[in-house]
């Protein structure tokens, strides 16, 4: 019976398949095969034994059911894999399985393979999200809207600025993920306390060759484990990605509020139901799910950081939590990346509401521009601020527009012509360098993608 929502509700097939038990077993067998191959090449074990181990190190032969059966007796996962693999090897080859290795050589190196596969899936979706955001920024670079600070109307901005801001942030996450990959996806075959003692003089050669066979960089130094600052960094990168997706979804949720309704999720009125009791509801359920799952992903950071301080050369306290946080962090981050793509690719705009909200305050959002213009024309900046603030307060109190309040103040109007106020109060002409800024983000991002950082 399914219990965890990942089993039946959350996650994508491509990421789930990486962390399923059979693939995890295969990755451990891949490490055992690489170890046997390296030792055979170096003459540590007979070449024919190495070849036999390599040929049988597959879930075609080593069945998960048999491994689990042995583990119920031994209560040791790696010892169970070693025995199950040895059983499948002909002749004396089984006697050489796992020679010179400790359990965590297999665990940490196979985890590197799983994380590497996961990063490929995550990176692909991150690039796709970035490209969708760049497309939205390009399409909406002149779509002027109200900018809000502290939840209050502030100054005009553009939807192009919003989307370009997020696209640039996603690019940084891709770079962070690439950097983390170089540190967390490493090979280790260094033995019980990291000295390679069981492998004698060839220990470092085996360590380096196993990593080379698996396409990993050999860890420079370890004890019984690859140090967990690397894994903590990886989880923190995923948490950071989740926080950005949370931010994007939260903004869309806010902008879909009934009294704002500038953009929102696509809703299928023919099939979709917003509420079991309120027939009119059209809720931002996908964005809300992104925000909710992001909280769970961020919570894994604490466990990942606490996995780093282990007793002496290693204890087992990291193992149990990593069985949970590594697959779940990857699966859930990948899942909310997919949800974010679904939302952004089907985003609905309400232009009439964007325009309505832009003018909702009767010109109060243009107070800064008026102050700056008065200063440029000779009024002191502090005086200009005070006079415009007085007009803004009066407009708020009486329901006048800012323009109406200003027209009644001769001490202000002596610096202006009446006809100039219309241009000063036009929010569409007060977006500063927004078009150039968005253009720069688009240009730099396209260059970054073309140089190969976005993958093939």
Give me the half-sphere count of Cα atoms (radius 13 Å) on the Cβ side of residue 197.
6
Catalytic residues: 150, 275
Q: How large is the angle between the packed helices 103-139 and 203-214, nearest 10 degrees? A: 40
361 phi/psi in degrees, rounded to 5: -90, 10
Closest CA to 97 of 55, 59, 69: 55
Q: Which two tokens stand for residue 273?
A: 């139901």
Contact by Cβ (8 Å): 293, 285: no
Q: In whole angstroms, what is the distance from residue 185 CA to residue 6 CA?
A: 25
Q: Which two tokens stand for residue 61?
A: 């032969």
Q: In whole angstroms, what is the distance from residue 453 CA to residue 456 CA?
A: 9
Contact by Cβ (8 Å): 330, 118: yes
Q: Which two tokens stand for residue 280?
A: 């009119």
**Block residue for tokens 């600070």:** 149
DSSP string, 84-120: HHHHHS-TTGGGGTTTT--HHHHHHHHHHHHHHHHHH
* Residue 99 CA, distance from chain mean position: 39
Q: Which two tokens stand for residue 398?
A: 């009486």
């Amino acid at each position: 019976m399914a219990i965890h929502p990942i089993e039946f509700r959350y996650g994508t097939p491509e990421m789930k398949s990486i962390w399923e038990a059979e693939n995890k077993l295969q990755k451990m067998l891949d490490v055992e095969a690489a170890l046997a191959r390296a030792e055979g090449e170096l003459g540590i074990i007979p070449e024919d034994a190495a070849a036999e181990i390599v040929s049988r190190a597959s879930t075609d032969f080593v069945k998960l059911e048999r491994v689990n059966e042995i583990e119920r007796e031994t209560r040791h996962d790696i010892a169970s894999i070693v025995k199950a693999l040895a059983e499948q090897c002909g002749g004396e080859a089984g006697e050489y399985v796992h020679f010179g290795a400790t359990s965590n050589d297999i665990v940490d190196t196979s985890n590197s393979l799983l994380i590497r596969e996961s990063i490929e899936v995550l990176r692909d979706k991150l690039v796709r999200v970035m490209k969708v955001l760049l497309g939205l920024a390009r399409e909406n670079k002149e779509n002027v809207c109200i900018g809000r600070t502290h939840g209050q109307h502030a100054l005009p901005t553009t939807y192009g600025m919003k989307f370009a801001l997020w696209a640039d942030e996603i690019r940084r996450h891709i770079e962070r993920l690439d950097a983390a990959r170089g540190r967390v996806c490493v090979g280790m075959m260094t033995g019980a306390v990291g000295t390679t003692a069981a492998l004698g003089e060839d220990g470092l050669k085996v360590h380096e060759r196993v990593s080379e066979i698996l396409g990993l960089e050999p860890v420079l130094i370890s004890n019984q484990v690859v140090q967990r600052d690397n894994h903590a960094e990886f989880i923190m990168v995923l948490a950071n990605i989740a926080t950005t997706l949370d931010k994007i979804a939260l903004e869309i949720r806010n902008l879909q509020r009934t009294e704002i309704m500038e953009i929102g999720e696509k809703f299928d009125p023919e099939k979709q139901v917003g509420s079991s009791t309120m027939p009119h509801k059209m809720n931002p359920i996908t964005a809300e799910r992104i925000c909710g799952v992001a909280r769970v992903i961020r919570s894994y950071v604490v466990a990942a950081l606490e996995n780093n301080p282990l007793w002496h050369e290693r204890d087992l306290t990291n193992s149990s939590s990593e069985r949970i946080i590594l697959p779940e962090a990857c699966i859930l981050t990948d899942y909310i990346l997919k949800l974010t793509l679904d939302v952004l690719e089907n985003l609905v705009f309400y232009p009439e509401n964007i325009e309505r909200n832009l003018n909702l305050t009767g010109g109060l959002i243009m107070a800064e521009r008026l102050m700056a213009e008065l200063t440029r024309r000779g009024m002191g900046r502090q005086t200009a601020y005070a006079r415009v603030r007085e007009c803004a307060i009066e407009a708020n109190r009486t329901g006048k527009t800012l323009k109406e309040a200003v027209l009644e103040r001769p001490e202000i109007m002596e610096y202006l012509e009446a006809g100039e106020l219309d241009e000063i109060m036009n929010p569409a002409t007060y977006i500063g360098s927004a078009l150039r800024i968005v253009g720069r983000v688009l240009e730099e991002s396209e260059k970054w993608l073309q140089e190969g950082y976005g993958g093939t």
